[in-house]
Structure 1
Amino acid sequence: MSDDLLPIGRFARLCRLSVKQLRHYDDLGVLTPAWTDPASGYRYYRPAQARDALMAGLLRAMDVPLPVVARVLSGDDGGALKQARDGIESDIARRRRGLRLLDRVLAEGLPAAEVSVVGEPARRVFVARESATPSTIPDATSACVRRLLPRMSPDGLLVGLFPLDMAEEFDVRVAVQAADGEDVLPGGSFAAAVHVGPYEEIPLTVHGVLAWFGDYGHAPAGPVREVYLNDPATTPPEHLETRVMIRVGDDQ
C-alpha cells in the first residue's frame, strides 16, 4: 500500500461526502478506490481523486443521475449533461403545472364538471402516436400534432387520445378527421364536458367526468378523448375550449 493513500473516512471528509456515498459510488463503478485491502475490504483513495469525488458530489446535489456522473468522470460526456439539464427543466415545468392546478383547486374547490351524454359517430382519421410518461404528455402531444399538420383542414376535428390507466410508459395518440383517413375512431355514447382554460388544467375536467361515472354507476371505457375546439395560436389560454369525452362502456 502506498503511503500517500487516504483511508475512506479521511477521504470522505476531504470531499464532503459520506462513507456510505463513497461505498455506493464504488459499487456502481462511478468512483473506484485506488486500493482495497483484500483482507479487510477497507477502501483507500489517492488525494488526486478528490477532484472527481467533489465533482460527483456537486452533480448529485443538482440531481444529475449517477449514470451521467459516471460518464462525466470517465471523460465521455457525449451530451449527457445537456440531456440531464433538459430532464431537470422538464421536471420543473411539470411541477409548475402541478402548482397551477393546485392553486385552482384551492381557489375553486374540487372540480364539478357539467356532464352530458352525447352520441358520437364513427369518424375516419389519421393518427400519430408518441411514447410518453405522465410527465412528458404535453411534449408527446405536441410532437403528434406537428406530424399531423400536413393533413389538417380548417374544419377537421383534432382529437387527443389518452389512456385511462396511466402506466410508467404509454402511447399518446392524436387523431385528425379526414375523409381519406387510414383509421377509424369508433363512435358510441360518451359522457362529455367542455373544459374552458389552459390545456394543462384539462385533468381537472377529466376528473370531473370520471366522478360522474362513479356517481351514476356507469363504467368508463378508454381512451379519454380531448377534442380541441379552437386554435391555441390565436386563442388566449384562459379562453381555450376542449371537449372531454369518455365512452360509456356499460353495454360492452
Structure 2
Amino acid sequence: MSNDLLPIGRFARLCRLSVKQLRHYGDLGLLAPAWTDPESDYRYYRPGQARDALMIGLLRAMDVPLPVVARVLSGDGGGDLKAARDRIEADIARRQRGLRLLDRVLAEGLPENDVSIVREPARRVFVAREPATPATIPDATALCVGRLLPRMSPEGVLIGLFPLDMEEEFDVRVTVQAANGDDLLPGGAFASARHVGPYEEISLTVHGVLAWFGDYGHTPAGPVREVYLNDPATTPPERLETRVMVRVEDDQ
C-alpha cells in the first residue's frame, strides 16, 4: 500500500462526503478506491481523487442524475450538464408559478367563478399535438401554437385541450377552427367560466369550474378546453381573457 493513500474516513472528511456515499459511488463505478485491503475490505483513496469526489458531491447536491455525473467525470457530459441545468431552471420556474398561485389562494381563497351552461356545435379544426408532463405544459402548448399559427385565419381562435385526469405523461393538443380542417372538435353542453389574468393562473378557474360540478351534482368529461380570446403578444398578462370549458357528461 502506498504511503500517500488516505483511509476512507479521512478522505470522506476532505471531500465533505459520508463514508456511506463514498462506498455507494465506488460500487457504481463513479469513484473507485485507489486500493482496497483484501483482508478487511477497507478502502483507501489518493488525495488527487478529491477533485472528482468534490465534483460528484456538488452535482448531486444540485440533483444532477448519476448517469450525467458519470459522463461529466469522463469529459463527455457537457451537453448532458446543460440539459440538467435547463431542467433545474424549468423546475424553479414551475415552483415560482406554484408560489404565485398559492399566494393568490391564501389571499382570496378558491375562486367562485360565474359558471354557465353553454351549447357548442361541432367544429372542423386543425390540431397540433405535443407530449407533455404537468411541468412542461406551457412549453408544449407554445410548440403547438407555433405550428398552428401559419394555418390560422385572422378570425381564428385557438383552443387548448388538456386532460381532465393528469397523468405523468400525456398529449397537449391545441386546435384552430378551419372549414377544411382535418379533425372534428365535438360539440355538446359545457360548463363555462371566464378567466381574466395570466395563463399560469388558469388552473384556479379550472378548479372553480370543477367545484361547480361538485356543487350541482353533474359529471365532468374531459378534455378541459381553454379558449384563448386575445393575443398574448399584445395583451398584458393581467388582461388576458380565456374561456374555460368542461363538457357536462350527463346533459343530453
Query: 1:5: which partner in 2?
Result: 5
- Residues 41/166 of structure 1: CA separation in 2 closer, same or farther (3 Å cut): farther
Which residue of the partner structure matches residue 244 of structure 1? 244
Percent of paired sites with the same residue:
84
Rate the CA distance shift 1:32–1:215 in 2: closer, same or farther, 3 A: same
Look up the match of 2:186.
186
- Residues 1:38 and 1:185: Cα distance change in structure 2 (over 3 Å): farther
Shift of 1:27: 3.0
* Counterpart in the other structure of 2:197: 197
Cα distance, 1:66 vs. partner? 2.1
Paired residues for 1:145-156 under 5 Å: 145-156=145-156
SS in 2 for 1:202: helix
The question of whether the paired residues in 1 share the 8 Å contact of 2:5 and 2:47 is answered with yes
Change (3 A) 1:108 1:42: same
* Structure 1 moving runs of 4+ over 4 Å: none
Q: Secondary structure at the match of 1:180?
A: coil
- Report the Cα offset of residue 102 of structure 1: 1.2
After superposition, the C-alpha distances for 1:108-145 in whole angstroms (9 at most, x for unaligned) are 11121111111011111111111111111101100110
Q: Secondary structure at the match of 1:79?
A: helix
Gaps of 5+ in 1: none
2:77 match: secondary structure: coil
1:69-101 deviation line (CA, Å, top 9, x unaligned): 111111111411111111111111111111111
What is the correspondence of 1:116-195 to structure 2 with a 5 Å cutoff? 116-195=116-195
Q: 1:154 to 1:22 in 2, by over 3 A?
A: same
- Matching residue of 2:14: 14
Say if 1:41 and 1:182 are closer, same or farther in 2 by CA, change over 3 A.
farther
Partner of 2:210: 210
Q: How far 1:242 moved relative to its partner?
A: 0.3
The 1:251–1:53 alpha-carbon spacing in structure 2 relative to 1, beyond 3 Å, is: same
1:39–1:165 Cα change, 3 Å: farther
Distance 1:40 1:235 in 2: 70
What residue number does 2:107 align with?
A: 107
CA distance in 2, matches of 1:176, 1:32: 57
> Could you tell me which amino acid in structure 2 is paired with residue 146 of structure 1?
G
Partners of 2:42 and 2:172 lie apart in 1 by 50
**2:8 and 2:218 mapped to 1: Cα distance?**
62
Q: Which residue of 2 aligns with 1:52?
A: 52
Query: 1 CA distance for matches of 2:251 and 2:41?
Result: 66
Structure 2 partner of 1:63 = 63
Q: Is the 2:189–2:251 Cα contact (8 Å) retained in structure 1?
A: no
The 5-angstrom pairing of residues 31-110 of structure 1 reads: 31-110=31-110
Q: Which TM-score applies when normalising by structure 2? A: 0.95
Please show how residues 226-241 of structure 1 align to structure 2 within 5 Å: 226-241=226-241
Counterparts of 2:138 and 2:245, CA distance in 1: 18
Separation (CA, whole Å) in 2 of partners of 1:42 and 1:123:
72
Note the aligned Cα RMSD (angstroms): 1.5
Instruction: Report the equivalent of 2:224.
Output: 224
Q: Counterpart of 1:173 in 2: which secondary structure?
A: strand
Flag the 1:27–1:219 CA change in 2: closer, same or farther, 3 A. farther
Alpha-carbon deviation of 1:5?
2.5
> How far off is 1:35 after superposition?
2.9
C-alpha displacement at 1:8, in angstroms? 1.5
Q: How far apart are the structure 2 equivalents of 1:181 and 1:29? A: 55
Greater alpha carbon shift after TM alignment, 213-222 vs 56-65:
56-65
Structure 2 Cα separation of the partners of residues 211 and 20 of structure 1 = 49
Instruction: Give the AA of the match of 1:140.
Output: A
